[in-house]
Amino acid sequence: MGGRNPHKVPAEMNVAWMTKAACRGFPTEWWFPERGERATKALFICEACPVREQCRQFALSDTALHGIWAGGTEAQRRSERRRRRKKERARPSQEGT
Residues that bind ligand SF4 (CB under 6 A): 6, 21-23, 45-46, 49, 51-52, 55, 69-71
Output the smallest distance, CB 5 to ligand SF4, in A.
8
Q: Which is nearer to ligand SF4, 8 or 85 (CB)?
A: 8
- 3-class state of residue 94 by DSSP: coil
Say if residues 71 and 46 touch (Cβ distance below 8 Å): yes
Q: Which is nearer to ligand SF4, 25 or 92 (CB)?
A: 25
Distance, CA of 32 to CA of 36 (rounded, Å): 11
Distance, CA of 77 to CA of 53 (rounded, Å): 13
Q: Which is nearer to ligand SF4, 49 or 60 (CB)?
A: 49
